Amino acid sequence: MKTLKPTLKRSKTEKLKLQRFSVSAFQGLTARLAVAEETVRAIRSGEVDSVMVAGKEGSQVFTLDGAEHDYRLLIESMNEGALMLTVNKMILYANERFARMVKCPLEQVTGGSFRRFLSPADRATLRPLMKQSAKNGSKIQMLLHCGDGSQLPVQLSIQELDRNGSDQLTIGMVVTDLTESRRNEERLRALAHRVVQAQEAERGRVALELHDHITQLLCAILVRCQTLADQLPAREGTLKREALKLRELLGEAAVEVERISHNLRPSVLENLGLAAVLRDTGREFTERTGVVLTLASVSLAVRLPGNIELTLYRILQEALENVALHARARHVKVNLTMKDDFVQLVIHDDGVSFDPKQLSARRKKQVRLGLLAMHERAAYVGGTLNVDSAPSKGTTVTAIIPLIDRASGGGVEEAALIAFANKL
């Protein structure tokens, strides 16, 4: 019996371990069964759109077709792409429209990464927006790289979806194709281009008419008035004074007509270039308004193309007109510089500045139309325009125009067209 006791003790220990293992295994199986039952319940009730299964070859996503039939029908019939993503940009769900947009089969889109459709730069741009979507929705425009190698301009509308008690963050994304919108913008820009060309042609015609006909006629009348005043006898002092006053008014009218003709189509711009017309315009502005204008201009080694010189001149005209009408400034500084392949025009005044929200309706309309004209002028030659206005700091207008295209080595007009297309 003594030799059997140790064997009997081990047997009881093993039985005790077996009982404990059975209880633990039973509890584990019960918990897994509860999870499975909850999963089945969620699938049956339509709360789950897709299931992610982990395997040796990585995670796979399976979309459930039966959940929320009406909702899915609506999403699938949309003319826009619809996506559900994890915070790591894995696509949990994609509708057929998105698959057609990126020119990939739907089965290759679902379960894959949204990063495959983005450039490295766009990936970096999208990353913070995905994180911020929990607070408020956000929108961004970028290019998607499609399956056939083409690029598609789109707008991404990003918003966090309801978690339904889950700890996993799910991102909803609506993808809008901007191809037609960009085409319409290009048509409008082309129309604006033609309008500007027609406007400049008409300005030139009117300026020529004023200079060659009206100014000469006024000068002839002025000479006749002087002759009439000289022929009047001394006893006709009143009439003589009236004739001299009429001659003076005619002289002022001739100067004003010449100024209008010059502003419509400055001959200095055509003959001497942009720097010369800036000096001439600054001098005339100071004489007319009393506002001191300081010009800091580089010496341009070559003449800029006529459309760029005219664009910068018109922007300066509009900015100075706004200063004269609204700014109540004492000093204006104009700076023309060339850096690398860009020419930059900066107009700064120390006036009262402005806030469009606080302007009267009439002035708001004038300011907006003036700013719109300057923006359109800059965009016409592929450039950009920025207006910065702040209390006690005045207003600064900055126009930046590209000169050459580094990649192709093209000329100014070609570079302007390329920059204009990129801006769209």
Q: Is there a contact between 116 and 163 (Cβ–Cβ < 8 Å)?
A: no
Minimal CA–CA distance to 394: which of 342, 301, 330? 330
> How confident is the model at residue 405, as a pLDDT?
46
Average of per-residue pLDDT across 111-127: 87
Q: In this structure, which amino acid lies at residue 318?
A: E
At residue 26, φ and ψ (nearest 5 deg) are: -65, -45
Q: For residue 100, what pLDDT band results from cuts at 50, 70 and 90?
A: very high
Q: What is the pTM of this model?
A: 0.54
33 three-state secondary structure: helix
Cα–Cα distance for residue pair 69/64, rounded to 1 Å: 10
Cα–Cα distance for residue pair 346/337, rounded to 1 Å: 9
Average of per-residue pLDDT across 340-362: 75
Average of per-residue pLDDT across 399-423: 51
Cα–Cα distance for residue pair 151/281, rounded to 1 Å: 46
User: Between 110 and 370, whose confidence is greater?
Assistant: 110
Please, what is the average pLDDT of the chain? 78
What secondary structure does DSSP assign to 192-256, as a single string? HHHHHHHHHHHHHHHHHHIIIIIHHHHHHHHHHHHHHHHHS-TT-HHHHHHHHHHHHHHHHHHHH
Query: At residue 127, does pLDDT exceed 60?
Result: yes
> How confident is the model at residue 3, as a pLDDT?
47
Query: At residue 404, does pLDDT exceed 80?
Result: no
* Non-local CB neighbours of 276 within 8 Å, separated by 6+ positions: 268, 269
Minimal CA–CA distance to 185: which of 415, 420, 375? 420
In whole angstroms, how far apart are CA 285 and each of 83, 336, 350?
58, 17, 16
Q: What are the structure tokens assigned to 5, written together?
A: 């006791």
Q: For residue 240, what pLDDT band results from cuts at 50, 70 and 90?
A: confident
- For the stretch 20-73, pLDDT in tens is 666 677 677 777 777 777 776 665 555 556 666 665 555 555 555 554 555 667
User: Between 415 and 35, whose confidence is greater?
Assistant: 35
Neighbours of 175 (CB within 10 A): 24
Query: At residue 376, does pLDDT exceed 90?
Result: no
In whole angstroms, how far apart are CA 361 and each of 57, 256, 318, 365, 373?
65, 31, 20, 6, 18
> How confident is the model at residue 301, as a pLDDT?
67
Average of per-residue pLDDT across 106-127: 88
Handedness of CA 318, 321, 326, 327 (dihedral sign): positive
- For the stretch 136-182, pLDDT in tens is 678 889 999 999 999 999 999 988 876 555 567 788 899 999 999 88
Q: Which residues of 263-300 are buried (b: 16+ CB within 10 A; e: fewer)?
A: ebbbebbeeebbbebbbebbeebeeeeebebeeebeee
Indicate left, alpha or beta for 111 from its phi (over 0: left) and psi (-120 to 50: alpha): left
In whole angstroms, how far apart are CA 420 and each of 189, 316, 345, 378?
9, 21, 18, 9
User: Between 131 and 396, whose confidence is greater?
Assistant: 396
- Token pair 């760029």: residue: 308
- Token pair 């077996």: residue: 18
> How confident is the model at residue 19, as a pLDDT?
63
Question: What percent of the chain clears pLDDT 90, i.e. is strictly above it?
Answer: 18
* Non-local CB neighbours of 23 within 8 Å, separated by 6+ positions: none
- For the stretch 246-293, pLDDT in tens is 889 988 888 888 888 877 877 777 777 888 888 888 998 999 899 999
Q: For residue 408, what pLDDT band results from cuts at 50, 70 and 90?
A: very low
> How confident is the model at residue 194, as a pLDDT?
82
Average of per-residue pLDDT across 293-320: 85
For residue 190, give the DSSP letter.
H
Report the range out of 48-57, 297-306, 322-331 with the highest average pLDDT. Answer: 322-331
